[in-house]
Every structure is written in C-alpha cells, then in structure tokens.
Amino acid sequence: MSKRFTDTELFENKWFRKLPIKYKCLWHYLCGKCDGSGVWKVDFDLAEFLLGEHFDENEAFSKFEGRVRRITEDKWWIVDFIKFQYGCLSLASKPHKYVMKIAESHGLMGELESMGVVVSQSEHKGTVRKRVTEKVRLQVYSDDCYKCQYCLEHKDHAELVIDHIIPVSKGGDSSRGNLITACVKCNSIKWDNTPEELMSKIERENLVPLIGLPTVLHRLSKGLDTLKEKDKEKDKEKDKEKDKEKEPKTDPDFEQFYKAYPKKKAKVDALKAWKQVKGMTPPIADIVAAVEAQKKTEDWRKDGGQFIPLPATWLRGGRWDDEIQQTKTAPEKHYFN
C-alpha cells in the first residue's frame, strides 16, 4: 500500500464545498486510485461498485472543472497531483525520476515543464529545453495583465498557468514568443492542441468559443513571421559565410610564382610558405625571374629535375637570392642530314 499526502484544507475549499457528497467521494477515490503521476484509468463501473453510487462521466468531468483533464479517451489526469504530492520534480531525486518516467509514458512532461513542475532540463528526452523560470512566468503574467488570453478573464495568480502556444510536444519551445497566460480551465480545454487545432476542436465539440483565441492566432502568426524573418537573416549570414569560403584564399602573386615554378608539388604547403615569407620577398617579377634563371641551372635540369626543391622549401629558404652558378648547359643537339 502506498501512502499519499492529503489536503487538510480541502473541505474549506469553495469548489469542494459545493460538490455533491458523491462527487466528494469520487474526488477522494480518484486521488487514491490514480497512478504516481495523477493519471486515473477511467473505470466508472468499478468506481460505482466500490462507492455504491451512480456517476455520469460527463457530469463528473464538469464537476471537477479544470482540475482533471482527459489526456486520452480513457485516461483522466489530476492536473495538480504531482505538484501537490512532490512539489517540483528533480532529476536528482530517485523517486521523482520514477514519477517522471510515469508522466513521460503519458506524454505529460512537456505540460509539467510548462507548469514549472519539473526542475531539471529534459535530459530524459535527450534534448535540453529551457525551463520556464519563475521570473519569466511572472513576466508573462504581467505582460498579459493577469488575464487569461483565451477567455480574457482576469484571474488570481493561483488560477493562472503558462501556456505554450505551440505545445512542447509539437515542437514549441519556451521562448518568450511562445508563452502566454491561460487560466486553468482554458488550459485544460486547449490541452495539447495548437491554436488552430483548438479552434477546430471548439467547432467540432460545440464548445463555448474562447473570445481571445483569434488574437492568440494572430499573435502566433506574427511571432512566426518574426521567426521567418530571423531565419532569413540567418540564411543571409550563412550565404555570406559561404561567399567568404568562395573567396580566393590564395593571392595572384603566389599563383604567378607557382605557375612558373617547375616542380608542382604540395601546393597547400607552398601557399603556407608564401604567406610566411610574404613581406620579405622581392617583387613577383624578380621571383619569377629567379625561378626562370634557376630552371636553367644544371642542378635543376639533371636527373629529370629531381633536385629541384619543393616550392615550399624554395620559398622558406629565400632561394630567390641564390647565386646562380652558370654551368655549361648541355649543348643542344642539332641534327643535320
């Protein structure tokens, strides 16, 4: 038998006070029967059998307004369960890790993060996502004038949550542009939907329209435009970098030297050497002239030019200054008939 905390002030709570007695029982039943993350596998047959009362599922759901969410057809989630039982979940705590594992199996981690219930970054997903800090949370509330942006009603701090306009599960992040103030009730209606999906859900299920939703949609498209602009800027920067890469890394003088030099080996090293000696070299014309002169020497001509130094060695050695020993060049052979 596992043990759980119970709220000693529950009976003073206005919402709870108004509940018919059988729903008070049902609430206790749910809080006891849910799993470690507050998820109850909906089974009214069993609940009715054990509590000896008949329940209407939809009525029960509406009685627990906003405190319970349908995460799938047959799963209800007690939204504040984790916060109440464990406070903030931290990866540093083994029991918390276990709770996170269960929560993750229900796809609740993103929601817990947006509620500020998970302390550590979501390493469990292999991604590092910025947590919504208390400072950011208060800033968002204040920017939105403590008003739920979906129903546009002013609420107490305790009834407000931070909503990720694009849910974390659908790629939304915790950047400022994706955060908005929502009341517990609207947030439970929005659940894991994008604003567009929420719009269709409201139409499909004939729910009371959320008067702030069009503005949220507008805000989103504006935010997306800004993101697109940012992407364009990023692309431009990338193009610039590419252009830089395209820029010749060599210089024309070097190319002229290399063209003249008879041994074309290790060009990269030669260029490196060129850059090292640059500033000490005579004008390029003199270098080319030196190369041309040395080409004619015996040393460079003999044995198929195997004694010609590598261009890098030649440059590093400052060989343009070499004295040229005019050796007799092999007489050119002329054939006469």
Binding site for Zn ion (CB under 5 A): 148, 150-151, 183, 186
DSSP H or E run through 274: helix 267-277
Cα(298)–Cα(164) distance, integer angstroms: 80
- Residues 229-255: b if buried by 16+ CB within 10 A, e if exposed: eeeeeeeeeeeeeeeeeeeeeeeebbe
For Zn ion, which is the closer residue by CB, 120 or 187? 187
Residue recorded with tokens 């195997």: 306
Of 226, 229, 277, 235, the residue nearest 253 (C-alpha)? 277
For Zn ion, which is the closer residue by CB, 66 or 172? 66
For Zn ion, which is the closer residue by CB, 120 or 181? 181
Nearest distance, CB of residue 177 and Zn ion, angstroms: 20
Counting beta carbons within 10 angstroms of the beta carbon of residue 223, is it exposed (0 to 12), middle (13 to 18) or buried (19 or more)? Answer: middle
Q: Which two tokens stand for residue 235?
A: 């692309």
For Zn ion, which is the closer residue by CB, 100 or 186? 186
Nearest distance, CB of residue 41 and Zn ion, angstroms: 28
Nearest distance, CB of residue 14 and Zn ion, angstroms: 18
- Residues 298-317: b if buried by 16+ CB within 10 A, e if exposed: eebbeeeeeebbbbbebbbe
User: Which DSSP letter does residue 262 get?
Assistant: S
Nearest distance, CB of residue 13 and Zn ion, angstroms: 20
For Zn ion, which is the closer residue by CB, 100 or 151? 151
User: Which DSSP letter does residue 320 get?
Assistant: G
For Zn ion, which is the closer residue by CB, 66 or 110? 66
For Zn ion, which is the closer residue by CB, 67 or 96? 67
Q: Which residues contact 42 (CB under 8 A, 6 or more apart)?
A: 57, 73, 74, 75, 76
Nearest distance, CB of residue 191 and Zn ion, angstroms: 13
Nearest distance, CB of residue 133 and Zn ion, angstroms: 23
User: Which DSSP letter does residue 209 get?
Assistant: P
In the chain, the amino acid numbered 238 is K
For Zn ion, which is the closer residue by CB, 96 or 164? 164
Nearest distance, CB of residue 58 and Zn ion, angstroms: 20
Nearest distance, CB of residue 134 and Zn ion, angstroms: 21
| β-sheet bridge partners, residue 41 | 75
